[in-house]
Each structure stands twice: as structure tokens, then as C-alpha cells.
Structure 1
Amino acid sequence: MDFGGHGLSSHYSPGFPYDHQNFVSEVRRVAAALKWNRFSLLGHSFGGTVGGMFSCIFPEMVDKLVLLESSPFILESNELENMLTYKRSAIEHMLQVEASEKPSHVVSPEEMLQGFLKNNSHVGDECAKLLLQRGTTQVATGLLLNRDRRITRPEYYFNFISRELFVHSIRKLQARVLLIKATQGYYDVRRENDANMELMLFVTNSLRSILKERFQYVQVPGNHYVHMNQPQHMAGVISSFLLSKERIRAQL
């Protein structure tokens, strides 16, 4: 599904901010529309975090949770001291964009592709073209980005939580959880100067300790976008997890 303001989904109304919990609400809304009482969730990066938060708020609804390069919640580290700055910036940015009279920027398909690749260097040409199919709209003079311009830096709408709240929340999980980590994943793409893997270790150790046999961790070769660049590295792992109750190998 495309969250609000993304892909082919509608943008939020002026004055209504984008927030992590709003996206969780959208998952519940889709489930209600489809009349699903119990189902599995799969999400990559921020999408996995939304799925994890949903699985803890509505634990009885989620049978299996697949996290691709993700965590059930976003733990605060040095972000805590910036929290109020993020919230202020999000409000100011929303007001600036809504007050802007600038028309949406129309560019040629090739210019759009090259701009996307420049900002997402770990995604290949073919994957970029696939993402832009839902991420853009064709108009007479070129392509328009579909994403709401109010959505920029993700930390503006993240809900950072403490370690204590993380542990309390994942104790609510009823789902079996599969976490797939790429060898050159998130920390290489998003936090290139951050060699501190301690937070990720805390996440995996906590999930393993609390969920026990309901938690599985698999590492695959690739970068943060391995699910698009090399789907063969994880397709079999995910299929085995969804179809079987038996544990799968911890590393490929």
C-alpha cells in the first residue's frame, strides 16, 4: 500500500501533518476496508517500522511480521536532544510549503530518472524506473512527482521511543517475526559516518529474548535496497517463513 502523500494515494489536507502514527492508522483502515481480521505484514525500512508499530498496537490482527532492513520501532539515540527541533522544523516546513505558490516541478522522464538516481545511489536503473511508475504522474510536458512536498526529512515525522518503551511494546507482539538484515544495509546507506551498531544489537537481542522461537534473524548479501536489486537473496527466505512453522537458517 502507498501511505498518504506517497505514490498513488491522496495527499493529506492542508494543516494536517504527516506523522508515524497516522500511517499506522492507514494500515488499520485498509484492513477494515478489506474486512481482514488477521493477516501478515511485510515492510521495508520505514514501512517495516509502521508494520511493527501496528503489530504491537493491534497484536491480535497480525500473524506474521517481516521486517526488511527495519525495526519494529525507531529507538532514540542522539535524536532525543533534537526532538523539539524536529517537531518545530516539521511545522514550519509544512506552513512554508502550503504557503508556496510555486507550481509542481515538471521534468522530462530522463531528468526525473537521473535526479532519482542521484539521491538514491544504492538503487539501480531498473529499480528506479519501477519506483517511478507509482511515484510520478505523466502530464503533457513531462513527469510530476506524486509525493507530497511536505514530506521531506523522515525524522520530522518519526516517533522515537526509549529502550524501556521498546521492550514494553514488543512484549505485546503475538506475531512471529522475521528480521532480514543486509550486509551493507541501512548503516552504510543512511548513516555512513556512524559505526555504532549497538542500537541494532539491542533490537535483535531484545526480540530474540522476548519472542524466543517466534523470532528469526537472517542476514543476506546486499545493500539497503537488496529486496529490489537482488530479490533472489530474500525471496526464498520470506517464502519459507510465510509457508512454514519451522525455523530457517540464520545466515545465507
Structure 2
Amino acid sequence: MGLLSELKLAVPWGHIATKAWGSLKGHPVLCLHGWLDNANSFDRLIPLLPQDFYYVAMDFGGHGLSSHYAPGVPYYYQNFVNEVRRVSVALKWNRFSLMGHSFGGTVAGMFSSVFPEMVDKLILLDSLPFILDINEVNNVLTYKRQAIEHVLQLEASQKPSMVIGPEEMLQGLLKNNTHVGEECGKLLLQRGTKQVASGLVLNRDRRISWPELGFDYLSRELMQLATQKLQAHVLIIKAAHGLSNVRKDQTDQELLLFSISVLRTVLKERFQFVEIPGNHYIHMNKPQQVAEIVGAFLQGQEVAPAS
């Protein structure tokens, strides 16, 4: 399944860049990448999925080839949920499926609870539908302050973007993200960098740095309420050595188990959970394995645990 087109969807601050695969007549699936990634995150997975769907992967604002927000405008979690709605309006979609990796999964989950009638299937790749962390809730006010100060500091510095050679850029990415292999790192940098005379510069907005500065952490009570709003069938594919396992934080494990328990209790037969070997970028590193599970789910089949 080859790439159909690259699209630029107009928004008040510029455009949201997307890329599309599959059949224009097929049921739409919107794909949301992780924090600091871009739409190329799905280049290996989507061509292996059923061809009778229409897949669109978007770059969040300030990521990939999408426009940066206007000067002085911060990036908050709700902004990204808003972008999903804008894309659905631009594409004239009234009902569609959502697939999100990592941070993209939490955006997809929140959209699905705010606009439940619009989402029929929700696919989460090493992600949960909501950002739930009791420890971090205690730090929310600190994060809000840091987010404001961070933007002010960047505006005051006016430093030009760093120009880096291709190999140094790749090694920097691999050092900062040990779950991304070399080939996948190159794929993300294809869309995440811009060529200049003496090397490469990152496309992404420098105001985006630490995800916690833009997160909205939910209490357990609000998470339960949001889950009750979901009308979608939900699939979680958890990587055995994904982020929740790497951090080895007991509280993280407790919150993961709590989230899964709530989803099972509320959604019943509409919830499926599969754990497979691999790391946080399982959809890029082992796309065939993920594609078999996602493809079956999209086609309404019972998802069996991968061998």
C-alpha cells in the first residue's frame, strides 16, 4: 500500500501537515504520533494494514512539517485535542477511528471521551487513553509555572536553531531515545529536520521540550468519568519493555493496573488488551507483529494475544 498524498490542512496559525494511505472510499483512521515525533512514525506500520481503509497520519502543531504556533502562544495538551477536531472538520469526517502512539494515544483517548459519538475504534500503541499520575498531580502547579517561564526564556534568548551534521543529529536522537533503532531514527529525522547549507536543523518548535509542561494530569475519579463517556471499542497494545517497564516505578505499575481495570470494568467486551515483546517503538521496530493485531481489530475480529 503506497502513500497516496501529502496534505496541508489550513488552520488559523498556518497549516497541519498530513500524509495519507489506502482507499479514499474506505473508513477513515486518523493516526497520532508521540511527543517530539512526526507522521513518519507510521510509515512502516500503515502499509501492512488492511488496504480498504483510509489512513491519515498528522503532524501535531510544532512537530514535523506542521506550522508552529504563533509567537507567545504556548503548547498545551488541550491544543492537540483541538487539532484532532480541526483535522476532522477539514476532512469532513463525522465518524472515524483513532490510532495513537504514546502521547498521541492520550490525545486520542481524550478526544474520544470529549467527542464520543465521532470515534468508533480507539487503538493505543504502548499508551493509555488518559494521563493519570497521582505523583505528578502534586506537581501540576509547578509545571504550569515552568511552562510559562520556559517560553519567556526562549523568547528572550533569540538564539538561532543549532545546525548539526546528519550523523551527529542521528546519534543525538539515538542517545536521547534508546528505544528508537537507527533505521527508525533516520525515518523520523527525514520529516523532523530541514536541510540548510551547512547541515540540518530540527523542524520542531523549541517551545516544545518537556511533555510534562503541556500535560493535563487526571485524578482517578476524572479518569473513571472520562472512561464512562467512551463509545468506542478500545484496543491497547502494550510493549513488554515499553515505557511503563523501563521506568520501574511502583506507582507507575499501580496506575497502569488501575487504568486497565477501569477500562475492563466499564467497557466490558468493547475493551481488548494485548501485551507483546518489544520496546516503546514496537510499531516501528516490529510493524508486522503490530499490524496483524491492529488489522484484525479494525476488521471487527477478536484480537488474540501474539505468540
Identify the TM-score tier after normalising by the shorter chain.
over 0.9
- Alignment pair present for 1:235 and 2:307: no
Partner of 1:211: 267
TM superposition shift of 1:247: 1.8
TM superposition shift of 1:201: 0.5
**Number of residue equivalences:** 249
Moved over 4 A (4+): none
TM superposition shift of 1:233: 1.9
Deviation per residue, 1:150-208 (Å, 9 max, x gap): 1111100000010100001111111100001011111234x2x4144110011111111
Distance in 1 between the 2:155 and 2:70 partners? 10
Contact 1:108–1:141 under 8 Å retained in 2: yes
Partner of 1:223: 279
Which range moved further: 180-189 or 60-69?
A: 180-189
Q: What residue identity is the alignment partner of 1:238? A: V
- Alignment pair present for 1:198 and 2:254: yes
Contact 2:276–2:305 under 8 Å retained in 1: no
What are the ranges of 5 or more consecutive residues in structure 2 without an aligned counterpart?
A: 1-57
Contact 2:289–2:306 under 8 Å retained in 1: no
Partner of 1:12: 69
Distance in 2 between the 1:81 and 1:222 partners? 32
- Alignment pair present for 1:130 and 2:222: no
Give matches, 1:35-184, under 5 Å: 35-184=92-241
TM-score normalised according to structure 1 size: 0.96
Deviation per residue, 1:228-249 (Å, 9 max, x gap): 11112211000000012x3221
TM-score normalised according to structure 2 size: 0.79
Answer 1 or 2: which has greater helix percent: 1
Deviation per residue, 1:34-60 (Å, 9 max, x gap): 000000000000000000000000001
Task: Compute the RMSD of aligned alpha carbons.
Answer: 1.1
Distance in 2 between the 1:248 and 1:68 partners? 14
Distance in 1 between the 2:113 and 2:305 partners? 24
Distance in 1 between the 2:162 and 2:306 partners? 45
TM superposition shift of 1:14: 1.4
Partner of 2:303: 248
Give matches, 1:13-28, under 5 Å: 13-28=70-85
Contact 1:6–1:147 under 8 Å retained in 2: yes
Contact 1:52–1:65 under 8 Å retained in 2: yes
SS class of match (2:237): strand
Contact 1:136–1:144 under 8 Å retained in 2: yes
TM superposition shift of 1:139: 1.1
Contact 1:90–1:157 under 8 Å retained in 2: yes
TM superposition shift of 1:251: 5.0
Answer 1 or 2: which has greater strand percent: 2
Could you tell me the percent identity over the aligned residues? 66
SS class of match (1:74): coil
What are the ranges of 5 or more consecutive residues in structure 1 without an aligned counterpart?
A: none
Q: What residue identity is the alignment partner of 1:233? A: Q
Distance in 1 between the 2:156 and 2:163 partners? 19
Distance in 1 between the 2:245 and 2:284 partners? 17
Distance in 1 between the 2:140 and 2:87 partners? 30
Contact 1:221–1:233 under 8 Å retained in 2: no
Q: What residue identity is the alignment partner of 1:211? A: L
Q: What residue identity is the alignment partner of 1:207? A: L
Q: What residue identity is the alignment partner of 1:69? A: D
Contact 1:73–1:161 under 8 Å retained in 2: yes
Distance in 2 between the 1:125 and 1:83 partners? 35
